Structure 1
Amino acid sequence: MDPWFSRPRGMPGPPGIPGYSGMNGHNGEPGLCTCLKGPKGYSGPMEEKGTGASGENGEPGEPGADAVCDAQLCRDSAVRSAPSDTDQSDGGTRDRKRNFSAFSVSRFGTAEALVDTEIITWDHEFSNVGGDFSPETGIFNCSIAGFYFFTFHIYKSSSANYPMVRLMLNGEVQVSIIDADYWDSEDSSSNSVILELSVGDIIWLDLYEGRVLHSSYYRYTTFSGTLLHAR
């Protein structure tokens, strides 16, 4: 029989399965510090104060132009200069509210202009500072020249008859609203404008001929104006 080492070598076998990782070693002992903390240092010597003479004090400054006054004097001055409800400077009594003008009104019910164009009148007055607006006639009469802001909101409750409302200045159309959506029986629309007015100018809203305007207790339809800047 041939010895084993004289036989032909076989094919290499497949690699074996990897073995498991070994366990972690233990942490080493903490190192020991054999050094000692050094002693605290001492403050250095303080130098002697100089022997030179001190400088002279400066001259006091002049009082400021806006010096703060005594509290009581300030209060007295404020009371004397506070505006009063009346002004006698022009030789008569003048209501200070006349330096401003503003109004805001609304309607409760339906308005119709079946025959001719109609000025819209108003049932409820939210405010009327200066009294320049007349809800009964629907006309604003300018008594303070300047720039005014006007805004109006309208409501329709019909798909058969839609409203057309115009803001008029001395009989000339300025801006308008028309709401002609036949598929929507209830709708609200608005418009606004800033106008420069002179004393005596008149402003109103009118409902165009053949149109109907709606409102109710909820005051859907309104008209407002205010002075922005006097001229």
Structure 2
Amino acid sequence: MDGCLLPALHGHPPPGEKGEVGVRGRSGRSGKEGPPGSRGLQGRKGQKGQAGLPGAQCPRTYAAFSVGRSEGLHSADALQAVTFDTELVNLDGAFDLASGRFLCTAPGVYFLSLNVHTWNYKETYLHIMRNAHAAAVLYAQPSERSVMQAQSLLLPLAAGDAVWVRMFQRDRDNAIFGEHGDLYITFSGHLVKPDAEL
């Protein structure tokens, strides 16, 4: 055909030669943290370890007293200390029988108890004292029958505190009964909880 170009052949030209590797680009930003995966299977139980060395033994603090009075007592003064003549328990000699006082050297909470026998037709009026302050009262009205009376309490004591029993006289004769051979009058106390363990 005159004046016409031949039609181009269909298809692509053959590939050229492979070029050189380019420079590595910068790392992209880290993606968001994904959700936690499911819990894995439980591993095997390990072997039992060796026993450790024994710990140091904790020091224990003890304090206790129990005293009695074999003779009865009538009030002679308005405020009179009850003294004792029988020592049942007296750790470290902390209770002085002559003065009727327990001197605290191991601070903490103490249990105290006082037991007496009333005297017929006489009033019984006693205080368990901590230093100069009455902590508890033991009281019985005059009666034709004598009975045993008791008082007990828990009391915190500091080092140097003194615990004793006071006979308190009012307008009536105040007395507690006693006789040789039997202990009708007893005063006891022991440390329940040292301060270091509170």
TM-score bracket, normalised by the shorter chain, equals: 0.5 to 0.7
In the other structure, the counterpart of 1:226 is: 190
Structure 2 residues without counterparts, runs of 5 or longer? 1-43
Check the 8 A contact 1:169/1:204 in 2, yes or no: yes
Offset at residue 63 of structure 1 (A): 4.6
What is the Cα deviation at residue 176 of structure 1?
Answer: 0.8
Question: SS where residue 158 of structure 1 aligns?
Answer: coil
Give the deviation of 1:65 after TM superposition.
3.7
Report what 2:167 is aligned to: 207
Measured in 1, the distance between the counterparts of 2:112 and 2:50 equals: 45
Deviation by residue 1:81-101 (Cα, 9 ceiling, x = unmatched): 789xxxxxxxxxxxx88x211
Taking a change above 3 Å as real, the CA distance of residues 212 and 196 of structure 1, as seen in their structure-2 partners, is same
Q: Which residue number corresponds to residue 56 of structure 1? A: none
Compare relative contact order (CA 8 Å, sep 6+) and give the higher one, 1 or 2.
2
Work out whether residues 207 and 213 of structure 1, in 8 Å CA contact, stay in contact via their aligned partners in 2.
no
Figure out how many residues of one structure are paired with residues of the other and give that number.
147
Whole-Å Cα distance in 2 between the matches of residues 228 and 134 of structure 1?
Answer: 21
1:205 offset after TM fit, Å? 0.2
Corresponding letter in the other structure for 1:191? Q
Note the residue ranges of structure 1 that are not aligned, 5 or more in a row. 1-58, 68-76, 84-95
- Matched with 2:51 is 66
Between Structure 1 and Structure 2, the one with more helix by share is: 1
Match of 2:10 in 1: none
* 1:131 Cα deviation after fit: 1.9
1:137 partner letter:
S
SS at match of 1:157: coil
Task: Find runs of 4+ consecutive structure 1 residues off by over 6 angstroms.
Answer: none
Cα distance in 2 for residues equivalent to 1:100 and 1:188 = 29
1:118 aligns with 2:71: no
Q: Which residue of 2 aligns with 1:100?
A: 62
SS in 1 for 2:163: strand
Cα distance in 2 for residues equivalent to 1:141 and 1:82: 28
Q: What's the offset of the Cα at 1:140? A: 0.8
Q: Distance in 2 between matches of 1:181 and 1:170?
A: 28
8 A Cα contact 1:101 1:131, kept in partner: no
Residues 1-231 of structure 1 mapped to structure 2, 5 A cutoff: 62-66=47-51, 99-159=61-121, 161-184=122-145, 186-209=146-169, 210-216=173-179, 217-231=181-195
- The sequence identity of aligned pairs, in percent, is 23
